[in-house]
């Protein structure tokens, strides 16, 4: 069974393009255009194998989303990748402290994205 | 003394009351001194004294130039405030243009992503149909279909430019708003000399905007523009913690 990835980004273009890339690689993709929507989906029963989130979003930021997810029952150990234009070391450290799994700086080459995703989800 | 009083009256027509009375006092005092010095020695001597007093008054009238230039300075301050309002209209125009660029590139990117996804889905269907063809025909078609489909993923990845551009424009918009606010403050201060010193330092505000830079390229540009040589380590592009 294909792994499910939850994409969280306020950019429709990013959601659509990453969904297409991941879907083509055989993953099932769920999307949320905000941190709030992601939390709602997780509370509503969505059980992704990986969450990929942006940092700069209106409302709940990506870092806050990670913190929220980490205290939700059943999601303490879910891998969470940050994909963002942010490259500041301080933010990176903040994400690491919030227990993010990894950090990718946009624009990410599809091959690089898939390589990292497959490293985290070796069984696809 | 009569002449002195007349001069004082004339001064009152040109000077603010406080300044005119001060000038009259100066002239009056000087005339009295002169009269005492000359005594009743002759009207010519008094007249010469009046001429000398006129030069004292002229000196004060030159001082009166301060008053006149204050008014001119005020007028120029209003003019500058007016210019600032026009610059604000210009920064607003820049922001509007930025929003349009974001909107048009966003729409274009959405259309392209949709088209690429549809194209990819059609290619997948085509590949399935080719399985029903004789092997000699399907081999050539498969290679062609694969060639057509190969760039799709790369193109989808390239569309991240829209998000990156959008954030760059949003950053410029934030900078523009800082400039805008600064111009509002400056224009306000144009009419209130007492609080002139309280206007924020633009360079400080500009440097503060560095906190809003999210991309290393933005920070580098900012450092160059601000004349700073501070550079930080941005870390690897991909990092697993």
DSSP sequence for B153-219: HHHHHHTHHHHHHHHHHHHHHHHHHHHHHHHHHHHHHTT-GGGGGGSPPHHHHHHHGGGG--SHHHH
With cut-offs at 50, 70 and 90, classify the pLDDT of residue A124: confident
Contacts 24+ apart (CB under 8 A), A96-105: A96/B241, A98/A63, A98/A66, A98/A67, A98/A70, A99/A66, A99/A70, A100/A66, A100/B241, A101/B240, A101/B241, A102/B238, A102/B239, A102/B240, A102/B241, A103/B235, A103/B238, A103/B239, A103/B241, A104/B237, A104/B238, A104/B239, A105/B237, A105/B238
Q: What is the mean pLDDT of residues B184-212?
A: 65
CA distance B6 to A26: 103
pLDDT score for B68: 57
pLDDT score for B143: 87
Q: Which of B1-5, B110-114, B115-119, B230-234 shows the lowest per-residue confidence on average (mean pLDDT)?
A: B1-5
pLDDT score for A68: 96
For residue B235, is it left (φ>0), alpha (ψ between -120 and 50) or beta?
Answer: left
A84 CB neighbours in chain B (<8 A) are 214
Residues A96, B241: C-beta atoms closer than 8 Å: yes
Contact A117, A22 (CB under 8 A): yes
Q: Is the predicted pLDDT of residue B220 greater than 70, yes or no?
A: yes
Q: Is the predicted pLDDT of residue B25 greater than 50, yes or no?
A: no
Q: Is the predicted pLDDT of residue A39 greater than 90, yes or no?
A: yes
Task: For residue A13, give the nearest of B106, B152, B239 by CB distance.
Answer: B106
Task: For residue B157, give the nearest of A85, A102, A109 by CB distance.
Answer: A109
Q: Is the predicted pLDDT of residue B9 greater than 60, yes or no?
A: no
More confident residue, B50 or B190: B190
Q: Is the predicted pLDDT of residue A43 greater than 90, yes or no?
A: yes
The pLDDT tens digits of the residues spanning B115-155 come to 999 999 999 898 888 888 888 888 888 888 889 988 998 99
Q: What is the mean pLDDT of residues B93-108?
A: 87
Task: For residue B235, give the nearest of A11, A89, A100 by CB distance.
Answer: A89
- Is it true that the peptide bond before A107 is cis, omega within 30 degrees of 0? yes
pLDDT score for B47: 42
Q: What is the mean pLDDT of residues B62-89?
A: 70
Q: Which of A25, A31, A32 is nearest to A2 (CA)?
A: A25
Q: Is the predicted pLDDT of residue B67 greater than 70, yes or no?
A: no
More confident residue, A105 or B52: A105
Our CA-based measurement puts residue B185 at a distance from the nearest CA of chain A, in whole angstroms, of 28
Q: What is the mean pLDDT of residues B94-117?
A: 89
pLDDT score for A87: 74
With cut-offs at 50, 70 and 90, classify the pLDDT of residue B26: very low
pLDDT score for A94: 92
Strands (E), A1-124: 4-8, 28-32, 50-53, 80-84, 102-105
Q: Which of B43-47, B167-171, B179-183, B220-224 shows the lowest per-residue confidence on average (mean pLDDT)?
A: B43-47
With cut-offs at 50, 70 and 90, classify the pLDDT of residue B48: very low
A24 at interface of B, judged by CB pairs closer than 8 A: yes
More confident residue, B99 or B218: B99
**Tell me, what DSSP letter sits at residue A102?**
E
Q: What is the mean pLDDT of residues A75-98?
A: 90
CA distance B163 to A107: 9
Tokens of B27: 């002239």
Mutate to test the interface with B, among A57, A83, A85 (most CBs of B within 10 A): A85
For B84-119, b/e burial (b = at least 16 CB within 10 A) is: beeebeebeebbeebeeebeebbeebbebbeebbee
Residue of A nearest to B114 (CA): A16
Tokens of A29: 């993709």
pLDDT score for B71: 77
Residue of B nearest to A119 (CA): B240
pLDDT score for B34: 40
Residues A16, B162: C-beta atoms closer than 8 Å: no
B161 CB neighbours in chain A (<8 A) are 107
Contact A69, A51 (CB under 8 A): yes
Tokens of B78: 């209003």
Our CA-based measurement puts residue B136 at a distance from the nearest CA of chain A, in whole angstroms, of 27
Q: Is the predicted pLDDT of residue A3 greater than 80, yes or no?
A: yes
pLDDT score for B167: 87
Q: What is the mean pLDDT of residues B203-227?
A: 69
Residues B117, A105: C-beta atoms closer than 8 Å: no
Q: Which of B147, B156, B59, B85 is nearest to B114 (CA)?
A: B156
pLDDT score for B55: 47
Alpha-carbon distances, residue B55 vs A124, B20, B58, B60 (angstroms): 100, 16, 5, 9
pLDDT score for B201: 64
């Amino acid at each position: 069974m294909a792994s499910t990835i939850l994409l969280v980004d306020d950019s429709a273009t990013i959601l659509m393009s990453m969904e297409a890339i991941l879907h083509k690689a055989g993953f099932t993709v769920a999307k949320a255009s905000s941190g709030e929507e992601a939390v709602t989906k997780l509370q509503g029963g969505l059980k992704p194998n990986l969450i990929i989130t942006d940092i700069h979003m209106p409302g709940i930021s990506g870092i806050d989303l990670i913190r929220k997810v980490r205290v939700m029952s059943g999601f303490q150990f879910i891998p969470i990748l940050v994909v963002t234009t942010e490259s500041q070391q301080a933010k990176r450290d903040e994400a690491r402290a919030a227990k993010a799994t990894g950090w990718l700086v946009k624009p990410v080459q599809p091959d690089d994205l898939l390589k990292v995703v497959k490293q985290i989800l070796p069984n696809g | 003394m009569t002449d002195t009083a007349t001069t004082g009256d004339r001064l009152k027509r040109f000077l603010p009351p406080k300044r005119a009375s001060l000038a009259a006092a100066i002239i009056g005092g000087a005339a009295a001194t002169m009269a005492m010095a000359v005594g009743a020695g002759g009207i010519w001597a008094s007249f010469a004294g009046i001429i000398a007093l006129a030069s004292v008054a002229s000196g004060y009238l030159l001082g009166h130039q301060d008053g006149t230039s204050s008014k001119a300075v005020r007028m120029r301050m209003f003019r500058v405030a007016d210019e600032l309002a026009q610059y604000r209209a210009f920064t607003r125009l820049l922001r509007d243009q930025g929003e349009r660029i974001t909107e048009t590139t966003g729409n274009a990117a959405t259309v392209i992503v949709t088209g690429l996804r549809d194209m990819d889905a059609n290619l997948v269907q085509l590949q399935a149909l080719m399985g029903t063809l004789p092997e000699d025909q399907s081999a050539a078609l498969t290679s062609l279909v694969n060639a057509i489909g190969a760039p799709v993923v790369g193109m989808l990845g390239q569309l991240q430019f829209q998000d990156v551009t959008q954030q760059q424009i949003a950053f410029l918009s934030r900078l523009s708003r800082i400039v805008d606010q600064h111009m509002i403050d400056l224009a306000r201060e144009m009419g209130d000399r007492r609080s002139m010193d309280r206007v924020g330092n633009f360079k400080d505000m500009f440097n503060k905007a560095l906190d809003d830079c999210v991309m290393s390229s933005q920070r580098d540009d900012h450092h160059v523009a601000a004349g700073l040589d501070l550079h930080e380590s941005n870390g690897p592009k991909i990092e697993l913690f």
